[in-house]
Structure 1
Amino acid sequence: MKATLQLAIEEAFQQAEHARLEKRGADAFQWLERAHILTQRHPMLHARSHWLMLALGWQIGDYREVAGQIPRIVAALLFTKIWVPIGNTGRSRISAFRPLPVPQDIQALLINDDPNRSVLS
């Protein structure tokens, strides 16, 4: 993993934790969604993004989010290297199979991580 991608992932997780501690759930989820997109090709980090979404859902009492994250954690561990819906934010309110547009700043990080792999494939 390139250093720029690793730094972006660390920043997303740190910002999410900071927002969570300040009880800014919406901001924390936005950072976790970013972390999710950035980690989709890395099984343990991908699963971590889902685990933190589950924990945040629990903290704010969003049990639909909690329930939706459980199968996503398992899928992240088992299927990340096989297939992921690129750009999917990882939230329970979005189909786990639905690809979404990748923000431009994230596209640049992902392309630089592996120039032989298309962000959109």
Structure 2
Amino acid sequence: MKTELHIAIEQAFQQARDALATRDPQRAYPWLERAHILSQRLPLLHTRSHWLMLKAGWQQGDYREVTGQALRMPAALLFSRIWVPLGNTGRARVSALKPMPMSEELRQLLG
């Protein structure tokens, strides 16, 4: 049985994949940021959010985003269970160590 958190993560990933399939990375980013925040403590899903952000950056021709995501993927695998900056959106233009404010909805999903 999937939890409400896992359902929300899957929905965010699906919306992002749909946007990427139509080559619309700008529409994908808000969903990827949501997926990132919700999956930060789940190493494989957290890494998937960075992989899809890398793909969005590639589609957009944003090589800063591509490089930033390539560096964050191994960190997501290694450190997700140890420490994460809660609320961090995961984008390359945001410090990987900076906690960020979250909506009440996201707080509730994270418990």
Q: Which runs of 5+ in 1 are unaligned?
A: 112-121
CA distance in 2, matches of 1:55, 1:76: 16
Shift of 1:2: 5.6
Runs (4+) of structure 1 moved beyond 2 Å?
none
1:20 maps to amino acid: L
What is the CA deviation profile of residues 69-98 of structure 1, one whole-angstrom value per residue up to 9, with x for unaligned ones?
A: 111101000011110000000000000000
Between Structure 1 and Structure 2, how many residues are aligned? 111
Please tell me whether residue 101 in structure 1 is matched to residue 101 in structure 2: yes
Report the equivalent of 2:70: 70
Q: Which runs of 5+ in 2 are unaligned?
A: none
TM-score by length of 2: 0.95
What is the CA deviation profile of residues 5-55 of structure 1, one whole-angstrom value per residue up to 9, with x for unaligned ones?
A: 110000000000111122222110110000000000100000000011011
Report the equivalent of 1:39: 39
**Equivalent residue runs for 1:1-121 within 5 Å:** 3-111=3-111
CA distance in 2, matches of 1:45, 1:96: 17
Which of structures 1 and 2 has the bigger CA Rg?
1
